[in-house]
Every structure is written in structure tokens, then in C-alpha cells.
Chains A and B, each alone.
Chain A
């Protein structure tokens, strides 16, 4: 593909986009089936619950947003990789360590792919994993608290895009690198990329309690590993990664990396890799990385550095990796619920390429190779090919499945969803998207057991879908009813950041496990106080610690004296409440940090550096009760070196 054809593609996409936008307001829910019909399908009466929890990645917001489906109601934004002053995420002492890396503290990242943990190939509602694309990391969110509890850094990786896709029993989540880099990193000319840069595919093990560790990394030729999905059923034990830039270009990739007619889907025999590690056939590579863990009982995160990873060179172990040629820079690599079909979406193509796992095994057995790249066999294209979906669309990206043998593929350039039949490859239906769909999601649609009632389109371009809000618009999600033969658009709703992928799970699978409070008696925070009798203020040099409690509707203590200009004042605030949905907030004038927002039974801390003498107010920021407005206090700040006596009280004067 040359520059001209790229330009033609671009023009074509613009034309299609314009066509779509002209018809925008008339299309969709108000169409032939009538708005009333669609409204009924998404109407969740006040006080009623949605059928599904949907977890949408925040993209460049770095967070995860949780929506109810089919209503599209926003339930929560879970802070993950980016600072969130509302929830003190990355601001309070307890969560700052979560954002530590070996580059130091990082306040932002780009989160792409939420992935629910699975048992026997089916989402089980224990955890949600999500990748940080920019500074490679994987986060784990606990679905009893909807809080990020662990973040692991991925050394030797760069552009953590094909991540964090799980194996059927969540033994591992994988993380491939979108950028090949020198491994180990070193100072070398960029234009010596070809043949020298490598790509690490990390297998992160997940323990029974959820704790993450890098079990091993497979070192691959320096292509760009874009997306991944695990085999299941018959193909369990294999992991499939799509790749582009098999040209190994380091500049103007939009042209240079589009030269090859076919790139690869890499099939990795991870069970074999696991055995190689067990047999000691690996190289320990010195590559430090950080693991940050939030302990629900100490209410505190800690960071630890681990120093090395076990690496396996793909080319050294015949049988470990095979390449399946797949046309036109494949983006999505999606496995159907049976585990037999591997769907490659060549993003510059009109067609989908479907490989057969059975045929792949046969081709391997017959050594039906057409080539070899860096010692890794390239299987004969025709030998693994199960079929081609002649879509009639352009720019396929991702495919999800329902429980009736149908597949749904998103087409970015032609801005539509195409429904097709697995096995016959026949196109059954198509529905336009507004505009330029990226990922799509069927609840459980990448698992062995899709709940194929709804399909959510995650669109990249919004244009005229909502009331205009200046140049920047929230991105649009569109919900389709796929329970009938035809896809029916039933809802549009704006989202947070840029949702790439999403996952959803039936609400009744996790509703009962939701925590309502943290038990005060289980609070092991080193600076917790569990009753108003224990509150105190201590001083060591210029470090002052104020141990506060909150309960409706007062702080204890709420009058504090003896602080001096130049002190480093730590507030350790314990919320004594043990009632559902009674958080208290804490804010003090002039603090160069966020508020604290403390859940019942929890302790949070922040630091304040008083700069001026005076009497400084603090107050509760969360409307907690009828006397919330009265939930306030004062701190007296005296001159530096005046050594006033430390005093504190509540309800009495001294």
C-alpha cells in the first residue's frame, strides 16, 4: 500500500463519515421501529436495577467508568492510573504508592482494555484488570469494593497495548508490547531497529488471592504486538497475538508498516512456556519493576521493587511460537466461543480472515511452513485458513460473539457493525454507528458463554450526537438490542475519556458481594483511632500528627492549638461510621493537595504545610447529615519558633 492509496482511504472515510453525519439525527432509535419501542427497552424505572454492570475503559482519562445496561446510567468512575482529586486517589498518603514506577511517581496513563477474571472461560466477577498503555502496567480492581488494589509494572515493554487478556481460568493475564525496543534498553541508533529491537510478551500470573507477578516473558522478533486473546476449549493453552509492522520500520509507519500484504497472528503455546520455566529453561534477566499493592485492612498501599524476570527466547524453543499470515496489519484477534476460530481483522482491509485452530494444529504437525522469520516458522496461509468474511465494509477492527453462533465486527472506516455467521461466513445484518466505531462489546462476548442480549458500540467520533459543548465532545457509546435477527439501535450515551474496550457482566453475579462498609474493628491502619477517646496530637520536631475522627456531625478534636508556621502537619482521619453510604470528607484551607473522602471504617491521611499565622478552618466536604454544615473546626497557627503548647478538644473549651 502506497501513500496514494492511504490518502484514498482517508478520503473515502471522510466521505462515508459525512454521509453518516448527514443522516445522523434522523437515524437510530427514532427509525422504523419507533422511539417508543426503544425507550421501553432501555427504561429502567426509578429504584430498579440494570441487568448488567458495564466497565468502560477511560482511555486517556486513565480510569474505568462503570455504567448500568441497558439504561446507560453512570454508576461510578473508578480511579486507576490517573490522579483523582475527588477521591484523593494519588493525593492521600494511602494511595500515592499506587502510582509509583521505576520512573518515579506518574500521575496519568492511557487505559485501554478492561478484562474480567474468568473461571472455566466465563467471567466470574472476582476482578477487573486493565492496562496502562503508555508506561506499561496492569491494574487489578477488586469487584467487592470497586477499588484498584494492585498495579504491576512491566519491564522490557513499551506501549502495553495487547494487554491484559486472560487465560480461561485467569492463571495469567498477558501483556504484549506495541513498540519493539532494545531489550535490555540501551543507547543505540534508532535506524538500527530492524533485527535489533525485540518485543517482550509478558505472562503475569494471578494467584488465588489475586496477587500479580511476572511469571515469564517471551522475547519475540521486534514486530508490533497489537492485541491478543486466549484460546479456550480445544485451543486452551494457546495465546494469540496480532501484529503489525512486521516490516520493522522505525519511521512514517503509516506508510512503511503498511507495505507487507500480510502481517502475522502469533500463536503462543503458553503451556509449553510454563513447562520450560518449570524445567529451568529460561534466562533470568535483571530488569527491575515495581508492584504496588493496596491492603484493604491497613487501608494503605505499599510499593515493592522486584529485580528480575525469567525470559524465554521464542526462537530457541521449536514448538513454542508459530506465525499465521494474516492480511493487512491485523488489529483485533478474536476467538469464537467454541475456541475453534481465530478471527483476524486486517484493519486496512474489507475482509476478515478466519483461521481454524484444528487446521493450525494439522499444519504444525505437517510442518506446512511457507517461511521463517528470525527462526520462527510461518505457517502456510492457506493451510490455516477457515474462511473469509466478505464484509462489504472497510476497516474491520474487533469481533465479539453472541450465544447463537453469530459474530459482530466493528468497521472503523465504514462506521458500522457487521453481523455474520460463524462457520458459513455469511453476512446477516449491518448497522451504522455514529461515528467511527472502535471496539464493540457483547457482555461475555469474548468468553465461552456470551450473554448475547445487548451490544455496545464504542465510537471514536461524536460530532452532532448531543448538544454541542465547544470543540471538545465526550465520546459516544451506542447500545444495540441484538436479541432479534436485526440489530436495533436503542440508546446513545456520552462516556468519560475515550472508551476503548469494555466488558460487562450480569448484575446478579456480583451484586451480593458488594461491601457496604469497612469494619472498624478490622482497621489496621497504623494511624487509625477507633474511638473519640483515643484522638490525639503529637509532635516530633516540626512533624505534627493530628489523629482525627469523624462521626455525624462532628470532628474530634475540632479545636487544635499549638501548630506553628513551618510545621509539616499530617492529618490522619478515621471515619468511625459503620453505616452504608456515610462517607465523610476533610478539607483544610490552603492545603496544596486534594480533599480526603473517607469511607465508613476507613482511615486516610494528607499533609498540610501552614504558611501563615492565624486560625484556619477545616470542614467536612461530603454532605453527610442534617448538621453537615456544622461539621467544621479550627486550627490555630502560631509563629515559627513560638513553641506553643499542643492542645485539642471537642465539645468543651479545653
Chain B
């Protein structure tokens, strides 16, 4: 459980997700990185440049300060990590199991929430947009590749998400290990 907690803390050092927009006039692509507490770009001005592109189709500007999840998600992770350390000390597999179930639930919820944001940005468009194409939505893929007008959008999890998965795996291991030990002793 100690390792599971540490893996959660490592989520702060790496982005969770990456969305890249590729087009001929952007030879290096425009890459946006979503972290537990911020959104960054491949260059300091990438977010501004993505927003300039998006305003033609009426997508609202991506402003990290206006996304509440980026404010509170970090505290949830700290709480989970803190609990993991506490559980490591308590050494009760049932408690570990409860922690694991809630973490997996929270992770699934986060992915669903991410999908909702993508849906909102992709569908909730300014009716006065310069470029309007009947029936066209601009939602990037949750995971994978999708062609949106002249851009190819790529969306893939990054190391931050992998550390969360690792934390879940480590949590699962601790549950199994705990149960086995109990049986031997019992």
C-alpha cells in the first residue's frame, strides 16, 4: 500500500492525458497536456494557439482557471495517497479493498468527467461562429485518433494515468496478499 500511495503522488510529476492536433501547417503538431492540476502545451503559447484555431468554429476558449476539476482533483489524490499510507500502517486487507474500490470508482468517474468536458467543448458552440458546418461536432476522441476537419486529433493517456493504474494494481496486490496471509495465520 505504501507503493500504491507513492505511485499516486507521482501523478503530480507527469501529465495524465495528451491531446495532439496535427495539420500540415503545424509540422510539429499542437499538443495539449492535461495534468491533475493544470493544462499545458508543447510550447508556452500552445493553448493560446489552440484557442485561436477553435474560435473560428465557435468553441469556447479552454481556460484552465475555469475548470474546477483542476482545482480539487489534486486534493482527492492527496487524500487517497494519505489513506494509502495510513492503510499500509494498519495493514488490514478489507480496508485496502474498500480504498481500492473507491479509487477505481473515482478513476472511472474522472474519465467520464473528461468525456463530458470534451463533449461540452465539442458540441456547445457559439451560434455566431465564423465556420459552421451542418451536423458537425468537434469533440476530440476520448482515446485514439479522429479526423476533425483539417486536423487529425490524437488522444492518449500519459504517464500520470499509468501511475494511477499502477497504484490500483498495487492496491489489488495488497488485497490478495493480505487475504492469503490471513488464511495462513487463521
Residues of A within 8 A of B (CB): 517, 519, 551-552, 577-579, 625-627, 630
How many residues of B are in contact with the other chain, CB < 8 A? 8
Top 4 A-B residue pairs of the complex, sorted by shortest distance between their CB atoms: A578-B45, A579-B49, A552-B52, A578-B48
Pairwise interchain contact B130-A627, C-beta atoms closer than 8 A: yes
Assess whether B44 is interfacial by the CB under 8 Å rule: yes
Pairwise interchain contact B130-A579, C-beta atoms closer than 8 A: no
Give the most central of B48, B49, B52, B130: most A CB within 10 Å.
B52
For chain B, residues 114 to 139, give those with C-beta under 8 angstroms from any C-beta of chain A. 130-131
Q: How far is the CA of A551 from the CA of B45 in the complex (A)?
A: 13
Pairwise interchain contact A551-B52, C-beta atoms closer than 8 A: yes
Assess whether B72 is interfacial by the CB under 8 Å rule: no
Contacts of B75 in A (CB 8 A): none
Given contacts A626-B131, A627-B130, contact A578 B44 (CB under 8 A): yes
Contacts of A552 in B (CB 8 A): 52
Contacts of A551 in B (CB 8 A): 52
* A626 contact from B44, B45, B56, Cβ within 8 A: B56
Pairwise interchain contact A627-B56, C-beta atoms closer than 8 A: yes
The chain A residue sitting closest to B55, CB to CB, is A552
Contacts of B52 in A (CB 8 A): 551-552, 577, 579
CB proximity of B159 to chain A, nearest CB, Å: 27
Q: What would 6 more interface pairs be, CB under 8 Å, given A517-B45, A519-B44?
A: A577-B52, A578-B44, A578-B45, A625-B56, A626-B56, A627-B130
Residues of B within 8 A of A (CB): 44-45, 48-49, 52, 56, 130-131
11 contacts between A and B (CB under 8 A): A519-B44, A551-B52, A577-B52, A578-B45, A579-B45, A579-B48, A579-B52, A626-B56, A626-B131, A627-B56, A627-B130
Q: DSSP majority for the A interface?
A: loop
Q: How far is the CA of A627 from the CA of B130 in the complex (A)?
A: 8
The chain A residue sitting closest to B48, CB to CB, is A578
CB proximity of B57 to chain A, nearest CB, Å: 11
The chain B residue sitting closest to A576, CB to CB, is B48
The chain A residue sitting closest to B44, CB to CB, is A578
Contacts of B49 in A (CB 8 A): 578-579
CB proximity of B47 to chain A, nearest CB, Å: 10
Q: How far is the CA of A31 from the CA of B52 in the complex (A)?
A: 54
Q: How far is the CA of A519 from the CA of B45 in the complex (A)?
A: 9
Q: How far is the CA of A376 from the CA of B115 in the complex (A)?
A: 86
Q: How far is the CA of A552 from the CA of B52 in the complex (A)?
A: 7
Contacts of A577 in B (CB 8 A): 52
Contacts of B44 in A (CB 8 A): 519, 578
The chain B residue sitting closest to A600, CB to CB, is B45
CB proximity of B88 to chain A, nearest CB, Å: 45
Contacts of A630 in B (CB 8 A): 130
The chain B residue sitting closest to A579, CB to CB, is B49
Q: How far is the CA of A626 from the CA of B130 in the complex (A)?
A: 10
Contacts of A625 in B (CB 8 A): 56
The chain A residue sitting closest to B25, CB to CB, is A581
Q: How far is the CA of A630 from the CA of B130 in the complex (A)?
A: 11
Q: How far is the CA of A519 from the CA of B44 in the complex (A)?
A: 10
Q: How far is the CA of A157 from the CA of B9 in the complex (A)?
A: 70
